[in-house]
A and B are shown apart, each in its own frame.
Chain A
Amino acid sequence: MFKGSIPVNGSSRIISNVINVFTRGKRTKATNVVNASTQKIVNQLSALSASRKQPKLIRLCQEDLIKHQTIMNAWRVVQRRNEQKRNNQLKKQYQSIVNAMEDLKTSHPALYKFANYKPKDGTRFPLDLRMPTDFPPNKPWVYDYVPAETNEKRAKQ
């Protein structure tokens, strides 16, 4: 209700007269449904008292607090730039593979076909062979996993 109604500067400012437009309707349930993992975090946080969720008070003098704030700002900038650099690198890698495949498509169609060959017994990369990652997965195991082939068979029956 409070937030910025007059965003535009200068002479061409357009201001709507809120009184005529503003109406408050009935509240409806379940407007913001979050996914399960977020809900889990929300639940966990709801068990903590408000005081424990507060950021820890930094006991420094004003001068040092400003220094601290500046260091945190710089650290954020550094991290953001590093991340951007990595993303750019990955984007380039991906683009170069796309280019190589496009090249292969025209220069050697048979090789291209072979490169894109998918064996019929399910996926090429078995699900039970998990991709190595830095952290454990959000969804540890796919219990109702059915290989693609059996699906096809069932469809035929």
Chain B
Amino acid sequence: MSHSLRNHRVGTLIKNFQRFESTGVSSNPKHIKEVWSNFQIRPTSLKIDNTEIKKGIFNKVDENRGPLSISEVAQRLTYHSPNEIDETFKQAYEILQNKANETYTRIQSLEKKLNQTDNELEQLNLKNTLDKLKIEAEKENPEVLYNVNYNSSDSLDKSHPVYRYYLKDKWQNQGLMLTMQRLETLHVIPDTLPTFEPSVEVKVKFPHNKDPEFGNWITPGDILPAFAVEQPPTISIQEFDRIDGQDLYTIVLVNPDTPDLVKNSFSTTLHYGLTNVSLNNVDNIIGSEKLLENQDSIIFKPYLPILPEKNAGKYQRACLWVFKQTKELTDLSKIEREDFNIRSFSKLNDLIPVGAHVWRQHFDRSVPSIREKYGLGKGRVFHRVRGTTPVPNPKKDKKKEEENPKEE
């Protein structure tokens, strides 16, 4: 395409915008103006922190130095922005900001209404509509778009509904699908719980690790060595709906692959149990700081890493389940680690599964030293070759014994 034709196209785009501008919006003196640069009624988390990047978006990309976002020098210096993108952007920004101005006038009137009412139901409805309106007003803000797309999700302000909206979108398109795929292929569903509808994003990391390979958030299904899971994990539970006040959560870590030699089968062991953990949208991480402060109130079963014994199967699964509580729970410390039944546990305590995570472990050379640290003694060792002894059938064995009693 020739250059002049391209220019012509851009020109018509601008004209179209101008035509709309002249007829579209009537300027009302009561309206809030330029709301996207007004940080008195909006939180500063909606701003781009890096001033250089902000300059590159709102003014022009520096022609001599190229865009800051490109790290490679040669690429940066040969970069050219599309023709008239800055002029068009300015007009587009104005159109979108005018729309946001209108939304914010509605938001302000609704906020006034919210302050005046005492009716709880009405308050709840108003809060929900306000959230929706705030998302609508900020969804197209280029600064918010930049933060969502290019900043790490840990640094976003989760108290604002627009960030939660985008984070939920991101999660549903990747993290959720990955987690569900891993839970199903590794048979966490139905070996632990039958099924569930995930509504929170659960992330896990082991912050005691000094090796960068294991220090970050782990991907569901990862195989981890024993030294990487030596100490209790940091768990992040991200709710995407607004939480007024605090919600209570119960978290359990179970291993459904503990060898049961009597039954020649497997049993489930409880390796870690937290309960009555109060979290909200912003305060959503159960880290070492939180564990240090309120150890006795939230831990009902202290952490015991999964330490698979030699030749005890291909791998053992560490299944982390996050439940939402319907009431405050007490007296969970009596629960035994061995033969833990997670189904009856969740049913008995009215727990609703909202999220899950899984990683895998097998025997490695760091297992014996960690067993010693936890005072577990030496681990059992199994034959390398899997035997052919069938699963014992107590009913049938009894019958046989009755038919031909043991000779003495």
Interface residues of A (CB under 8 A from B): 1-7, 9-12, 15, 17-19, 22, 60-71, 73-75, 77-78, 81-82
CA of A74 to CA of B21 in the docked complex: distance in angstroms?
Answer: 11
In the assembled complex, 13 residue pairs joining A and B whose CB atoms fall closer than 8 Å, in A order, are A1-B195, A6-B354, A9-B131, A9-B243, A15-B352, A61-B67, A62-B149, A63-B57, A64-B81, A66-B146, A67-B57, A67-B88, A74-B92
Q: Give the CA-CA distance A70 to B324 in the complex, in Å.
A: 39
A14 → B minimal CB distance (Å) = 11
In the complex, what residue of chain B is closest to A15 when comparing beta carbons? B352
Does B4 reach chain A (CB closer than 8 Å)?
no
Which residue of A9, A62, A66, A77 is within 8 Å of B96 (Cβ)?
A77
A11-B244 contact in complex given A17-B352, A70-B96, A75-B92, C-beta closer than 8 Å? yes
Pick the contact of B61: A1, A63, A75 (CB < 8 A).
A63
Q: Are A78 and B124 in contact (CB under 8 A)?
A: no
With contact pairs A62-B67, A66-B149, A69-B145 given, residues A9 and B197 touching in the complex (Cβ less than 8 Å): no
Please state if B198 and A2 are interface contacts (CB–CB under 8 Å): yes
Q: What residue of chain A has the Cβ atom nearest to residue B239's Cβ?
A: A6
Q: In the complex, are the beta carbons of B92 and A71 less than 8 A apart?
A: yes
Q: Give the docked Cα–Cα distance between A71 and B353 (Å).
A: 42
Contact B127 A70 (CB under 8 A): no
Query: Please, which residue of chain B has its CB at the minimum distance from the CB of A7?
Result: B241
A6 to B353, CA, bound (A): 12
Q: B residues within 8 A CB of A12? A: 121, 124
Among B118-161, those with CB < 8 Å from A are 120-121, 124, 127-128, 131, 140, 142, 145-146, 149-150
Q: Which of A60, A66, A78 contacts B145 (CB 8 A)?
A: A66
Is B180 touching A2 in the complex (CB atoms < 8 A)?
Answer: yes
Name B's A-contacting residues (CB within 8 A).
13, 16-17, 20, 24, 53, 56-57, 61, 66-70, 79, 81-82, 85-86, 88-89, 91-93, 95-96, 99, 120-121, 124, 127-128, 131, 140, 142, 145-146, 149-150, 172, 176-177, 180, 193-199, 241-244, 324, 352-354
Check A77–B242 contact: CB distance below 8 A: no
Residue of B nearest to A60 (CB): B82
A11-B124, A17-B352, A71-B89 known; A81 and B57 CB under 8 Å? no
A56 shortest CB reach to chain B, Å: 14
| Distance in Å: Cβ of A60 to nearest Cβ of chain B | 7
Q: Which residues of B contact A5 (CB under 8 A)?
A: 197, 199
User: Bound complex: CA of A7 vs CA of B168, how far in Å?
Assistant: 13
User: CB within 8 A of B142: which of A11, A18, A70?
Assistant: A70
Task: Give the residue name and chain of the A residue nearest to B24 (CB).
Answer: A81
- With A and B bound together, what is the CA distance between A115 and B61 in angstroms? 65
Residues of A within 8 A of B197 (CB): 1-2, 5, 18
Contact B88 A73 (CB under 8 A): no
Decide if A82 touches B127 in the complex (CB within 8 Å).
no
Q: A67–B199 contact, CB under 8 A?
A: no
Q: Complex formed: what's the CA distance from A5 to B199 in Å?
A: 7
Q: Taking A15-B352, A63-B57, A78-B20 as contacts, is the C-beta distance between A9 and B86 under 8 angstroms?
A: no
Question: A9, B244: Cβ atoms under 8 Å?
Answer: yes
- Across the interface, B99 reaches (CB within 8 A) one of A6, A10, A62, A77, namely A77
Give 10 closest A-B pairs by Cβ, nearest first.
A74-B92, A62-B69, A61-B67, A5-B197, A63-B56, A67-B89, A71-B92, A74-B95, A73-B140, A10-B124
Nearest chain A CB to B344 CB, angstrom units: 12
Whether A78 pairs with B16 at a CB distance below 8 angstroms is: yes
Q: Is the CB of B17 within 8 A of A74?
A: yes
Q: Which of B61, B95, B142, B352 contacts A69 (CB 8 A)?
A: B142
Contact indicator B140/A10 (Cβ below 8 Å): no
Least Cβ distance of B60 to chain A in Å? 10
Whether A61 lies near B79 (C-beta < 8 A) is yes
